[in-house]
Amino acid sequence: MTAPLDEKLEPIYQDVLRRNPGETEFHQAVREVLETLGPVLVKYPEFAEHKVIQRICEPERQIIFRVPWEDDKGETHINRAFRVEFNSALGPYKGGLRFHPSVYLGIIKFLGFEQVFKNSLTGLPIGGGKGGSDFDPKGRSDSEIMRFCQSLMTELYRHLGEYTDVPAGDIGVGQREIGYLFGQYKRITNRYESAVFTGKGLDWGGSRARREATGYGTVYFVHEMLKARSEELDGKTCIVSGSGNVAIYAMQKAMQLGAKVIACSDSSGMVVDEKGIDLKLVRRIKEVERRRISVYAEEKKGARYIEDGNIWTIPCDVALPCATQNELTAKDAKKLVEQGCIAVAEGANMPTTPEGIRIFKDAGIAFGPGKAANAGGVATSALEMQQNASRDSWTFEFTEKRLEEIMVNIHNDCFETADEFGEPDNYVVGANIAGFLRVSRAMVAMGLI
Ligand code: NDP
């Protein structure tokens, strides 16, 4: 069951459905935003006049291309890659690349659409875009990954530039992949254009705290939501889905702020460790050895591994979905609420289904949507671009401080905007409207573009 749309917005949504058939994740992301924009059109009728919403729902440019590459046995493979340059009203397109077999245009468009609002919320000069490929990096050797990245960049490079489009990582794309991609970009263009990629290694233009930023930022956001309710993270029990980049550093910051993290997962199953997750072990298994999370229970006495286990059945105070889209359903949301969960913040993009979000809202628990709660990653990417532009390198402490300030500002902006539009405590409404207003004002100011 979805909420009805404002009468001005329903035809816009119908048009999105008609023009983008079969792209269900994109439809979901658009609908979730449109459901909250009715009051904005009442207050600011000029946005309807200038057809800003119709324009925001249509990417400025979409690039789809073939990526041929050879595996270690000499066999040829063909993948498909995408870059959706969604909106550049606030700055160059900015958003990650995802390598996962589930990737198709609808996933990249949902991510690009979300990115526009998220980047706007950071208050930094970055537009929104996203890209990726249906390539599956799992089980591939470093040389195979390198050949794939080089082939992809041989086409993608012509669309990038520090003032045009600046990719970063996402699922399946970490520092190793960014290295191969940046290396090929540099080789083809004969330019050391550091700010054309973010998430780089520290020796070659990367920012301290970028690796940690998304997970840390998500926890700062949940911390602020709890503070607004006179609660704190200290002493709370926490569960985190995933065990990739976002999940690992969300666990780390949650632990630093006094929470006890008792479960995490990967796409094969979950581990529960009532004594508290041993993060050093998770990092070794995932970051160094690139193995499955099941290894954790083999090596840790007292920990349980549950194949295909549903992490949302584990009782907790705070839940942080940090794996992938639509991983937390209505049934999961009900279970979390029943078992006493008081706060959820999305480290991943759109991990909660619309029905799940409604259950959290009705139960009155603090819910931080990904657009706001995981914006720390892209914000720190924009800080990386700043450092590259000024040939500077900031300390970890300074960068983390900036990240924390940005997350506090995003929280307050969402909180105050929700209040202003008559939906106190509704961070979904606050994030959508605050993100929308900044992009829309810029679009109107720039004329019909
Ligand atoms: P990683 O590839 O580092 O980790 C992804 C994790 O999620 C892995 O544990 C993976 O398990 C699990 N996962 C992926 N797909 C599925 C699936 N279909 N079902 C169950 N589990 C799955 O990615 P990130 O940590 O970078 O990204 C996680 C989420 O955070 C994504 O939604 C991403 O868009 C979002 N995000 C990331 C940012 C960043 O800075 N990296 C910034 C903002 C948002 P397995 O290894 O088994 O596949």
Burial profile 230-239: b = 16 or more Cβ within 10 angstroms, e = fewer = ebebeebbbb
Mean pLDDT of 437-448: 97
Pairing mode, strands 343-345 and 318-321: parallel
pTM metric for this prediction = 0.97
Q: Which atom belonging to ligand 1 lies closest to the Cα atom of 172? A: 2
- On the question of pLDDT at 29 being above 70, the answer is yes
Measure 267 CA to ligand 1 centroid, in angstroms: 9
Whether 251 is in the pocket of ligand 1, judged by its Cβ within 6 Å, is no
Mean pLDDT of 317-327: 98
Can you give the pLDDT at residue 16?
98
Measure 131 CA to ligand 1 centroid, in angstroms: 15
Mean pLDDT of 332-339: 98
What is the residue with the minimal CA distance to atom 23 of ligand 1? Answer: 171
What is the residue with the minimal CA distance to atom 28 of ligand 1? Answer: 323
Interatomic CA distance for residues 160 and 167, integer angstroms: 8
Instruction: Please state the length of the chain.
Output: 449
Task: Express as a percent the part of the chain with pLDDT over 90.
Answer: 99
Question: pLDDT tens across 176-192, in order?
Answer: 999 999 999 999 999 99
Interatomic CA distance for residues 272 and 275, integer angstroms: 9
* Mean pLDDT, rounded, of the chain: 97
Measure 365 CA to ligand 1 centroid, in angstroms: 24
Measure 247 CA to ligand 1 centroid, in angstroms: 8
Taking a C-beta distance cutoff of 8 angstroms, is the pair 121, 414 a contact?
A: yes
Can you give the pLDDT at residue 3?
76
- On the question of pLDDT at 1 being above 80, the answer is no
Interatomic CA distance for residues 177 and 172, integer angstroms: 8
Mean pLDDT of 51-67: 98
DSSP class per residue in 209-240:
THHHHHHHHHHHHHHHHHHHTT--STT-EEEE
Candidates 245, 282, 328: which one to mutate for ligand 1, based on the most atoms within 8 Å of Cβ? 245
Candidates 171, 290, 308: which one to mutate for ligand 1, based on the most atoms within 8 Å of Cβ? 171
Count of H helices and E strands in the chain?
17, 12
Whether 169 is in the pocket of ligand 1, judged by its Cβ within 6 Å, is yes
Q: Is 230 left (phi over 0), alpha (psi -120 to 50) or beta?
A: left
Q: Could you tell me which of 176, 203, 135, 130 has the C-alpha nearest to residue 349? A: 130
Q: Which two tokens stand for residue 124?
A: 């930094």
Domains 61-193 and 212-373 share a fold: yes
According to CATH, the superfamily of the domain at 61-193 is: Leucine Dehydrogenase, chain A, domain 1 (3.40.50.10860)
Beta bridge partners of 167: 95
Q: Which two tokens stand for residue 125?
A: 């000069």
Burial class (CB in 10 A: 0-12, 13-18, 19+), 325: buried
Taking a C-beta distance cutoff of 8 angstroms, is the pair 219, 250 a contact?
A: yes
Measure 114 CA to ligand 1 centroid, in angstroms: 16
Burial class (CB in 10 A: 0-12, 13-18, 19+), 43: exposed
Contacts of 242 (CB under 8 A, 6+ apart): 264, 265, 266, 321, 322, 323, 324, 347, 348
What is the residue with the minimal CA distance to atom 17 of ligand 1? Answer: 267
- On the question of pLDDT at 449 being above 90, the answer is no
Return the biggest CA–CA distance within the chain.
64
Whether 132 is in the pocket of ligand 1, judged by its Cβ within 6 Å, is no
Question: pLDDT tens across 388-423, in order?
Answer: 999 999 999 999 999 999 999 999 999 999 999 999
Which 3 state secondary structure label does DSSP give 201? coil
Whether 440 is in the pocket of ligand 1, judged by its Cβ within 6 Å, is no
CATH architecture under which domain 212-373 falls: 3-Layer(aba) Sandwich (3.40)
Mean pLDDT of 145-156: 98
Domain boundaries, the chain: 10-56, 61-193, 212-373
Can you give the pLDDT at residue 98?
98
Q: Which residues are catalytic?
A: 130
Measure 111 CA to ligand 1 centroid, in angstroms: 13
Question: pLDDT tens across 193-222, in order?
Answer: 999 999 999 999 999 999 999 999 999 999
Whether 368 is in the pocket of ligand 1, judged by its Cβ within 6 Å, is no
Can you give the pLDDT at residue 4?
85
- On the question of pLDDT at 90 being above 70, the answer is yes
Mean pLDDT of 250-259: 98
Contacts of 241 (CB under 8 A, 6+ apart): 247, 264, 265, 270, 311, 312, 320, 321, 322, 323, 327, 328, 348, 351
Q: Could you tell me which of 119, 96, 100 has the C-alpha nearest to residue 167? A: 96
- On the question of pLDDT at 250 being above 60, the answer is yes
- On the question of pLDDT at 141 being above 70, the answer is yes
Q: Which two tokens stand for residue 387?
A: 């450092």
Query: Residue 367, Cβ neighbours under 10 Å: how many?
Result: 25
Whether 310 is in the pocket of ligand 1, judged by its Cβ within 6 Å, is no
